[in-house]
Chain A
Amino acid sequence: MTDAVSARERILARVRAAVANAPEAPAVARDYRTSHTADDPAAVLGLLHENLADYRAHVHRTAPADLAALVAERLAERGARSIAVPPGLPEAWLAATDAVRRPDEPRLTPYELDGVDAVVTGCALAIAETGTIVLDGGPGQGRRALTLVPDLHVCVVLAPEQVVASVPLALPRLDPGRPLTWISGPSATSDIELDRVEGVHGPRTLEVILVTGD
């Protein structure tokens, strides 16, 4: 690959020549806000709820004891008969549903995933100001394809520990070495006369369950 090496050297040499006489760039000022929200867990959770709903996610709140029943209800309501199950998902979350479980071990093929109605996952964290859920492939979340191919995604957020107010507060808590997926509402397009339509390729329906209190 001598060619590739020379392209690398050529480009770097051009870059160096191009900026050789440029003045130093002024230091980056970070005097923007770390958060735009009051430091109050209830207010942050309320904002998360509101912003998720504004982007057409269906948001529910529950206490830990009622989680399994709510998961089962959401799946039944949407007519989901089969669910993809990521490794490490707490067994208790699915205790009340009679949907067929399709564990992702060994990995389901894309076609098998396409035949599954729903997926239930946890998350790495949620961002209130933007109405965003972040998945990092950790236990109970699984690989990225799991939350992409099935048409219904039921996502469980544990409050307050998994909820942050803002993007600047989220990044330090995430590991860039993991594949990350940020989800803000269900898949959507505005390509046709800017009319918003939900569900093009990702899940058409996003159900978010905020688990609070004990």
Chain B
Amino acid sequence: MGMPSFPKAAHDAVGDTTLRANLRHATHTIRDKRARAVAELDDWAALREAGKRIKDETLRRLDTYLVRLEAAVTAAGGTVHWAADAAEANRIVAALVRATGETEVVKVKSMATQEIRLNEHLEAEGIAAYETDLAELIVQLGEDRPSHILVPAIHRNRGEIRDIFKEKMGSWGRPAPEGLSDTPAELAEAARLHLREKFLRAKVGISGANFMVAETGTLVVVESEGNGRMCLTLPETLISVVGIEKVVPTWRDLEVFLQTLPRSSTAERMNPYTSMWTGTADEDGPRAFHLVLLDNGRTDALADEVGRQALRCIRCSACLNVCPVYERAGGHAYGSVYPGPIGAILTPQLRGTSSEIDASLPYASSLCGACYEVCPVAIDIPEVLVHLRERVAEEGGSGHRLEKAAIKAASWILDRPNVLAAGERLASATRKVHPKRLPGPGARQWSDHRDLPELPAEPFRDWWRKNRS
């Protein structure tokens, strides 16, 4: 299929002025709101540290917690399946759906099922999968790809959405109402009517999960619209596909993440709806519950002593919203369901770095450090980027193909004064939190005895403009 490498895709995206305006508006709005929501909790730093440590402890003993989770889910009436890779997960899910005799499923937005391309696989098996998150619906109807973890249709404005609804809803079910305007309220109402038909008759729901509690076997889905609750509650069979890194050890651990996730993500004190279920319940919700535990490269990431911290990610998307490169290039440029800074470190670890796009991702950053600063589980994204660059450079040795891809991505950023300047300015603003040493094993010999030069309070470019022009 040949995804274009980051510089090629980013080049095209930057030429699209509508896309850039949509992205800029969206990321800046969430960014400012997030800062206010976080400022409400004066123990944010302690919560962030606790979140980091809970995840590190989970990863260190992941085998124990997965086995414990399996036992708890089974005891509560659920069935646990294990999938080593995408093909295996898709096979399991398709077989489970076929066993119900159904040919339609409703889906809650889930990165894991996007990662394994479940919808495409189900379609090939004659099963229609309906996305029910409003943004996912926009993406699916528009035959498009999501461009943001949290707001997958962030690249579409209201006029484009109205056109997609008018043109496409009819071929999937209830058509858009006559004379549909482009106000968000009317567009949301059109989606409500279109999807309600599907919810009410759905027999099979498919979801992911934000957390799985090993101690109790509880799964947690955090959402806003109620489409998640519809999919988790109304069908007779529920299938949840969840990455193995989503487990947390104890019920109590949720007290940390339910405080940090909503504030980092949608900048709310709490998202409108959170659903928690443990196996099956009499007379309430699905009678059959299947949990598919997905590896698909996660154990490879776990084996990397610097890179494994990426598995702490709780997919809040705060790092996307502060990234000057993401803001200009857009999510599609990353060629993966995981865009932005987290995508730049997660994707090459999950998929390896043998393709041109994956090899170029560690260079799709200005290393300004803003992503690390906002991350609620303190993933040092710049450190992992530098580490992965070394890996790509080592692997690139013979043919230079990888090195070329990487250099192209780096020079794409260096060639774009706006991106670089934004990176520098943020870097200046955040310099208090910058490491004093270069990250990465190779750098240690050099920097162990030297401090990195401190960043100036003002980027050189700004200083020059003010003082010399």
Q: Does A49 make an interface contact (CB < 8 A)?
A: no
State whether B285 touches A144 (Cβ < 8 A).
yes
CA distance A137 to B278 in the complex (A): 13
Tell me if A192 is interfacial: C-beta within 8 Å of chain B.
Answer: yes
For A95-111 the 0/1 string (1 means CB < 8 A from B) is 00000000000010011
Checking A176, A179, A192, A202 against B188 with a beta-carbon cut-off of 8 angstroms, the contacting residue is A192
Structural contact, A188 and B229, CB atoms closer than 8 A:
no
Interface membership of B47, Cβ < 8 A:
yes
Q: Name the one of A3, A18, A110, A203 contacting B199, with C-beta atoms under 8 angstroms.
A: A110
Whether B36 sits at the interface, judged by CB under 8 Å, is: no
List residues of chain A with CB within 8 A of the CB of B83. Answer: 7
Which listed residue (A32, A114, A172, A184) contacts B46, Cβ 8 A?
A32
B270 A182 Cβ-Cβ under 8 A? yes
A8 to B132, CA, bound (A): 31
Q: Is A92 an interface residue (CB 8 A)?
A: no
Q: Please report the C-alpha to C-alpha distance between residue A104 and residue B62 in the assembled complex, in whole angstroms.
A: 42
Number of interface residues of B (CB under 8 A): 97
Q: B56 near A202 (CB under 8 angstroms)?
A: no
A28-B53, A183-B272, A184-B272 are contacts. A192–B184 as well, Cβ < 8 Å?
Answer: yes
Residue ID in chain A nearest B28 by CB atoms: A194
Q: Closest CB-CB distance, A1 to chain B, in whole Å?
A: 9
Which residue of A has the minimal Cβ distance to B283? A143
Kindly list chain B residues whose C-beta atoms are within 8 Å of the C-beta of A191.
133-135, 138, 151, 153
Contacting residue for B234 out of A12, A22, A145, A167, CB 8 A: A145
Say whether A24 faces chain B, with CB atoms less than 8 Å apart.
Answer: yes
For B135, give the chain A residue with the smallest CB separation.
A191
Selected interface stretch from A60-68, A73-81, A126-134, A155-163: A126-134
Q: CB-defined interface of A1-38 with B at 8 Å, one 1/0 digit per residue? A: 00110011011101111110010111111111100100
Residue of B with least CB distance to A109:
B200
Q: Is the CB of A202 within 8 A of B273?
A: yes
* Known contacts A28-B57, A167-B255; A55/B199 CB under 8 A: no
Q: Is the CB of B285 within 8 A of A167?
A: no
B266 touches A190 (CB 8 A): yes
* A-B pairs with beta carbons under 8 A, tally: 244
Contacts of A172 in B (CB 8 A): 252
B270 near A168: Cβ-Cβ < 8 Å: no
Tell me whether A167 and B258 are in contact in the complex, defined as CB-CB below 8 angstroms, given that A28-B53, A176-B216, A187-B226 are known contacts: yes
- Asked if residues B59 and A19 are in contact (CB atoms below 8 Å), the reply is yes
Query: What per-residue 1/0 map shows which CB atoms of B191-218 lie under 8 Å from chain A?
Result: 1100110011100000000000100101
Q: Is the CB of B26 within 8 A of A25?
A: no
Give the residues in chain A near B283, CB-CB below 8 Å. 107, 143
Which chain B residue lies CB-closest to A144?
A: B233
B188 with A22: CB separation less than 8 A: no
Enumerate chain A residues within 8 angstroms of B356, measured Cβ to Cβ: none
Known: A27-B53, A107-B283, A192-B187. A201 touches B195 (CB 8 A): yes
What residues make up the interface of A, taking CB atoms closer than 8 Å to B? 3-4, 7-8, 10-12, 14-19, 22, 24-33, 36, 51, 55, 107, 110-111, 114, 127, 129-132, 137, 143-145, 148, 167-168, 171-172, 176-195, 197, 199-203
Residue numbers of B with Cβ under 8 A of A are: 22, 25-26, 29-30, 40-43, 46-47, 49-50, 53-54, 56-57, 59-63, 66-67, 76, 81-84, 88, 92, 132-135, 138, 151, 153, 157-158, 161, 184-185, 187-188, 191-192, 195-196, 199-201, 213, 216, 218, 224-227, 229-230, 232-234, 244, 251-252, 254-256, 258-259, 262, 266, 268-278, 281, 283-285, 293, 295, 299-300, 302-303, 305, 308
User: 7 extra interchain contacts, Cβ-Cβ under 8 A, other than A28-B54, A193-B26, A193-B157?
Assistant: A3-B88, A4-B81, A14-B295, A145-B285, A148-B229, A188-B224, A201-B227
Top-8 shortest CB links A-B = A202-B226, A201-B226, A14-B299, A18-B303, A143-B284, A130-B270, A182-B274, A32-B46
